[in-house]
Amino acid sequence: MSPIQLSQRARQTPPSPIRRLAHLATAAKAQGTRVYHLNIGQPDIKSPAEFIEGVRLYRDEVVAYESSEGNKRLREEWAGYVDRTLGLNLAPENFLITTGASEALVFVFMTCCDPGDEILIFDPTYANYIGFAAISGVKLVSILTKLEDNFALPSCEEIVAKISPRTRGILLCSPNNPTGTVYSRAELELLLEICNERNIFLIVDETYREIVYDGLSPLSIFHLDPRSERVIVVDSLSKRFSLCGARIGCLITSNQDVLAKTLNQAQARLAVSSIDQFAAAHMLSTIGPDYVEGIRCEYEARRDVLFDALEKIPEVVAQKPKGAFYTVVRLPVDDTDAFAAFLLSDFCCDGETVFVAPASGFYMTNSLGRNKIRLASVLERDALVKAAGLLEKGLKAYAAKR
Ligand SMILES: Cc1ncc(COP(=O)(O)O)c(C=O)c1O
């Protein structure tokens, strides 16, 4: 009998490009090789003590469902945090708490689009947008940004040319994963203008908002228009508070229809973890600005260390990222999927190797990423220098082998 058929959706949802080679890393480790992980954006920095204290303070005898829109105190505290950090006075009722930014993004796609509707994204892109689109039946339409231009937005004409009668919105991630680009106020203004003119949504993923360098201040799309019916912000505690495992994110918008219809979906999945929300609310009510500023400084120092090391590797092309903790780098190889696999399976220098993410999975047109990788600076500075050294030696060994 032939195998039972799965849905087209299941077959079209790609594996995560950062996890695709994980089995090779596991095999290398099993052989005693130390693997430096530059492939995944899992911060190594300690989560705030205030969050752990919040978990300890949880006292309810029944761990009950929270309300579907999220813990009331957490929504208030998050609005307070946004006010303190951005000077924006947003109503807690405009926040819908989700299981990470990931769930917020799936909700936004489901709320704004029918199957086959289109969302414009900038390529290279956060790879999981491709998965979220596959789950929700949304067609992503890519607009190319280039390494040589530091992944700046293309011209208004190029963006508008991609809009079709089925376009429901534009999705921007700033500071950007995978490129580290921080989009300027003028670029945000341009997108807002286009969305207003065409009456489509502007969805901004601000997961890395405070992680910006070189004296930049965190910029939210809400600074341009806090009350716009067309603007939806996706936010998360995962990165700025090193809380990836807490799974706390949110969707923020003034559009009451979007909130109400998304809440119906949120009710179908019942609620986000009560204990994590309780602890997050406690953390936001007690934590000072030093924690996020400490994280920001550390990532900036790591960016500098990694960038200096990359600049010394012959034929490697990189642009200094302005935020987040990623960078897309061009290598002198024609297939970085094969090269990344080589590093894990056929290369080892003094018992060590490095795990990099091939950039093909971050491009809608996979072939455009074939000669690039994405690096995440989520290791301590000394380890980053070692990892960059291993990358250089790996490139030499790969060239010699060929
Ligand atoms: C740009 C971007 N958006 C969303 C997410 C998902 O974040 P969360 O852990 O809040 O689901 C990530 C995680 O890496 C990300 O890089």
Mean pLDDT for back-to-back runs of 10 residues, the chain (402 residues): 89 81 95 95 93 97 98 98 97 98 98 98 96 95 96 98 98 98 98 98 98 98 96 98 97 98 98 98 97 97 96 94 96 96 97 96 91 95 97 97 83
The burial class, CB within 10 Å (0-12 / 13-18 / 19+), for 166 is middle
Tens digit of each residue's pLDDT (9 = 90 or more) over 220-260 = 999 999 999 999 999 999 999 999 999 999 999 999 999 99
CA of 101 to the centre of ligand 1 (A): 6
Give the whole-angstrom CA distance, residue 61 versus residue 47. 26
Residue type, 41: G
Residue type, 119: I
Residue type, 312: K
Atom index in ligand 1 nearest the CA of residue 41 equals 14
Separation of CA 90 from chain center: 23
pLDDT at res. 120: 98
pLDDT at res. 402: 78
pLDDT at res. 366: 84
Ligand 1 touching residue 378 (CB < 6 A) = no
This prediction has a pTM of 0.96
Beta strand ranges found along 91-152 (DSSP E): 95-99, 118-123, 139-144
3 state SS of 26: helix
Strands 231-236 and 248-252: antiparallel
Ligand 1 touching residue 249 (CB < 6 A) = yes
The burial class, CB within 10 Å (0-12 / 13-18 / 19+), for 6 is exposed
Ligand 1 touching residue 102 (CB < 6 A) = yes
How distant, in Å, are the alpha carbons of 61, 99, 134, 269 from that of 131? 38, 16, 5, 19
Pocket test for ligand 1, best of 16, 132, 177 (most atoms within 8 A of CB): 177
Atom index in ligand 1 nearest the CA of residue 126 equals 1
- What residue owns the CA closest to ligand 1's atom 7? 101
316 closest CA partner among 401, 389, 212: 389
74 closest CA partner among 300, 279, 220, 351: 279
Ligand 1 touching residue 143 (CB < 6 A) = no
